[in-house]
Structure 1
């Protein structure tokens, strides 16, 4: 790797932090208010709250993952920057897709697009992980933290299972599997 093309990560991390903060803010602003100030009114919005929870946890997990990884990345290059920009583009669709699923929880189309967003995030993280390990040679922390099996492949397989169940007539399974993969990822990251 040509040392002249490498740069530090500070600006990328700051940009990523700002994007995640904006997405989380938009997520909460898009939550509908109950029609009545009653428990029944709140319960009527349970699907909206569920999709908000899943989407919030995705954003929080991605922020934590990014923070933990980039604390140990010495240098990046333009490919890593563009992979992060692509990742932020896909993440920026989360608020839109959250509302789409909240309004259409039993729609295979809405659930599939929501799940596809998660799959795209997973694929981008896979490519980025491989490349980060390559340009930050001899970094044992990165090799362990970017363990492809635990961080990328198992969530990908779980999401595929969710898609299969969704296509078999239970579209909400895709959102449920998204939640399971996020909870699994959070538990894995706090070990």
Structure 2
């Protein structure tokens, strides 16, 4: 007999939604204003806009993926709650790292920290998926929604490729690999 205590995921989902909304708001509020109202001043901030775009798409993709997964989850336990708290902690670093990478676009340290954040997000998702499958073993829809290969393994490979290219002398590769991963994920989710 299973003596574990299980919970509904509705409160966790509401909390996750609220935190993602706050993170997206902080992201846009941290965009610097142009020095003057001109196209050249806006163009000077293109690195900031590029970093914002990637981070915004990652946050919205995380929200969409979380919603897709938890639409099929019948029960959660304290392990899942703490995995989500760890996930939100790492996701909450996105606004800070977005500013850091936008202001230091060609810095290896800034790009690596930015990329490592997404690798950590991916790793937490992987462990969360395994825990959800263990708790909800009979749910085939959940297994399909998690899609560990397309949702976690391929993005992890792309992030690692970005890190390797960055260490070989092109730090911005990490940002481009993040963008490729997100675009790939969006296209995949629309199928």
What residue number does 1:49 align with? 49
Is 2:104 the partner of 1:104?
yes
Give the TM-score of the pair, scaled to structure 1. 0.98
Distance 1:120 1:7 in 2: 26
Q: For residue 72 of structure 2, give the secondary structure of its aligned residue in structure 1.
A: coil
Distance 1:76 1:176 in 2: 35
What residue number does 1:158 align with? 158
Give the TM-score of the pair, scaled to structure 2. 0.98
The structural deviation recorded for 1:4 is 5.0
Q: CA RMSD in A?
A: 1.0
Is 2:33 the partner of 1:64?
no
The structural deviation recorded for 1:99 is 0.1
Deviations 1:107-156 (A, max 9, x none): 00000000000000000000001110111111111111111111100000
What residue number does 1:5 align with? 5
What residue number does 1:16 align with? 16
Unaligned 5+ residue runs, structure 2? Answer: none
What residue number does 2:167 align with? 167
The structural deviation recorded for 1:3 is 6.0
The structural deviation recorded for 1:9 is 0.6
Q: For residue 35 of structure 2, give the secondary structure of its aligned residue in structure 1.
A: coil
Q: For residue 5 of structure 1, give the secondary structure of its aligned residue in structure 2.
A: coil
Distance 1:10 1:142 in 2: 16
Is 2:146 the partner of 1:146?
yes
What residue number does 2:177 align with? 177
Distance 1:189 1:179 in 2: 15
| Structure 1 segments of 4+ aligned residues over 6 angstroms from their partners | none
Q: For residue 171 of structure 1, give the secondary structure of its aligned residue in structure 2.
A: coil
The structural deviation recorded for 1:86 is 0.1
Unaligned 5+ residue runs, structure 1? Answer: none
Distance 1:23 1:148, change over 3 A: same
Deviations 1:36-67 (A, max 9, x none): 11110100000000000000000000000001
The structural deviation recorded for 1:2 is 2.8
Q: For residue 82 of structure 1, give the secondary structure of its aligned residue in structure 2.
A: helix
Distance 1:188 1:141 in 2: 17
Distance 2:190 2:80 in 1: 25
